[in-house]
């Protein structure tokens, strides 16, 4: 029997190779709360994070692969909400969130029906915490210059492998948002 300070009989460390670039996997996203709220932007519940040095605001997202050969593997990415350098980072983040909603709720990107538009609306960032969607795994460099896995793209129902990997969906799942935006809602949330 081992004592708490004798590690001679401990198992060896496991080596985790990167998930191959371009792999499609179903993931569950959770948001690590950063405590930043800006009700004027619709950022409530403490989900957003603000970098005090740069002034950028983002969602600090963790993705867990839910099935397949890489099940239970975790990846981390930032989803931009705003940057003092300009609107591009926020636009990229909004496009990614739209892709996540299309993927999770089965809405085709080109579908502009009221049902599909409703599927792309959220009441708040809390609706993104725990959402499951089909993701394309990518690589980027970490702070040490080493490759790491990230999620930067959601795969939507118009992709040839979507139905097989997410299960067939004939129509978008109902969203909890009202069909018309509430008065006073920021333009990005409409």
CA end-to-end distance (rounded Å), the chain: 62
Residue 179 to residue 76: CA distance in whole angstroms: 32
3-class secondary structure, 24:
strand
What pLDDT does 36 receive?
96
What pLDDT does 13 receive?
73
What pLDDT does 172 receive?
45
For the chain, the domains span: 24-165
**Nearest Cα residue to 23 out of 152, 142, 131, 157:** 152
CA 112 vs. chain centroid, Å, equals: 23
- The answer to whether the CB of 33 falls within 8 A of the CB of 42 is no
What pLDDT does 9 receive?
83
**Nearest Cα residue to 77 out of 122, 156, 137:** 137
pTM for the predicted model, two decimal places: 0.81
Distances (CA, A) of 115 to 93, 112, 145, 158: 23, 8, 44, 17
The dihedral through the CA atoms of 26, 32, 38, 44 has a sign that is: positive
Residue 18 to residue 38: CA distance in whole angstroms: 36
3-class secondary structure, 45:
strand
Q: Which residue has the tokens 């099940």?
A: 71
- The answer to whether the CB of 75 falls within 8 A of the CB of 137 is yes
Give, for all 190 residues of the chain, the pLDDT tens digit.
567 788 888 887 766 789 999 999 999 999 999 999 999 999 999 999 999 999 999 999 999 999 999 999 999 999 999 999 999 999 999 999 999 999 999 999 999 999 999 999 999 999 999 999 999 999 999 989 999 999 989 999 999 999 999 875 444 444 444 333 344 434 433 3
């Amino acid at each position: 029997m081992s004592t708490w300070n004798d590690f001679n009989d401990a198992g060896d460390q496991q080596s985790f190779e990167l998930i191959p670039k371009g792999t499609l996997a179903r993931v569950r996203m959770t948001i690590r709360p950063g405590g930043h709220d800006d009700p004027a932007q619709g950022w409530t519940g403490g989900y957003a994070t603000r970098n005090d040095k740069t002034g950028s605001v983002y969602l600090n997202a963790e993705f867990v692969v839910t099935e397949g050969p890489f099940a239970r593997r975790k990846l981390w990415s930032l989803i931009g909400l705003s940057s003092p350098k300009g609107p591009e980072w926020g636009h990229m983040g909004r496009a990614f969130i739209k892709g996540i909603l299309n993927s999770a709720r089965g809405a085709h990107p080109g579908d502009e029906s009221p049902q599909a538009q409703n599927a792309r609306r959220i009441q708040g960032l809390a609706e993104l915490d725990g959402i499951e969607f089909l993701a394309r795994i990518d690589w980027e460099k970490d702070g040490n210059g080493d490759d790491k896995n990230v999620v930067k793209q959601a795969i939507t129902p118009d992709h040839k492998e979507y139905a097989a990997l997410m299960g067939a969906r004939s129509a978008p799942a109902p969203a909890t948002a009202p069909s018309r935006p509430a008065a006073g809602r920021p333009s990005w949330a409409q």
